[in-house]
Amino acid sequence: MKEDAKFPDVGRRRKNGGAREEVKDDAGEGKEEAEEGNDAGKQTINITFEEKTEEYTAKDKTLLLTIKETIPTVDIAGNKEASQAINEYIRSFNLHGMSVEDAKKWAEEDYITRGKDNWYGYGMETVFSLNRADETVISFLVSASSYMGGAHPNTLEAALNFDPKTGKRLTLADVTTDEKTAVKEIVNAILQQTKQEKYSGMFFEGYESSVGDLLTEDTWYLGKDGFHIIGNEYIISPHAAGILNFMIPYAEAGFLKEKYRVS
Would you say 26 and 51 are in contact if contact means Cβ atoms under 8 Å apart? Answer: no
CA 200 to chain centre: 26
The confidence score (pLDDT) of residue 14 equals 41
The confidence score (pLDDT) of residue 23 equals 32
Per-residue pLDDT tens for 195-246? 999 999 999 999 999 999 999 999 999 999 999 999 999 999 999 999 999 9
Per-residue pLDDT tens for 140-177? 999 999 999 877 889 999 999 999 999 999 999 999 99
Q: Which residue has the higher pLDDT, 72 or 12?
A: 72
The whole-number average pLDDT for the span 92-109 is 95
φ, ψ of residue 250 to 5 degrees: the values are: -60, -30
3-state secondary structure at position 246: strand
CB neighbourhood size of 176 (10 A): 21
The confidence score (pLDDT) of residue 175 equals 99
The confidence score (pLDDT) of residue 39 equals 36
The whole-number average pLDDT for the span 92-108 is 95
The confidence score (pLDDT) of residue 228 equals 99
The confidence score (pLDDT) of residue 53 equals 98
The confidence score (pLDDT) of residue 22 equals 32
Q: CATH number of 22-260: 3.30.565.40, 3.30.465.10, 3.40.50.1970, 3.90.1330.10?
A: 3.30.565.40
Q: What is the pTM of this model?
A: 0.85
The confidence score (pLDDT) of residue 145 equals 97
Whether the per-residue pLDDT at 5 is higher than 90: the answer is no
**Confidence class of residue 11 from pLDDT cuts 50, 70 and 90?**
low
**Which residues, listed in sequence order, are joined to residue 37 by a DSSP beta bridge?**
44
Whether the per-residue pLDDT at 1 is higher than 90: the answer is no
User: Beta strand pairing status for 226-231 and 220-222?
Assistant: antiparallel
The confidence score (pLDDT) of residue 200 equals 95
Per-residue pLDDT tens for 33-90? 444 443 335 579 999 999 999 999 999 999 999 999 999 999 999 999 999 999 999 9
- DSSP letters of 1-27? -----SS------SSPPS---EEEEEE
What Å distances lie between residue 117 and 74, 120, 121, 146, 150, CA to CA?
Answer: 44, 9, 11, 21, 17
CB neighbourhood size of 112 (10 A): 11
**Residue length of the chain:** 263
The confidence score (pLDDT) of residue 198 equals 96
The confidence score (pLDDT) of residue 252 equals 98
Q: Where are the domains of the chain?
A: 22-260
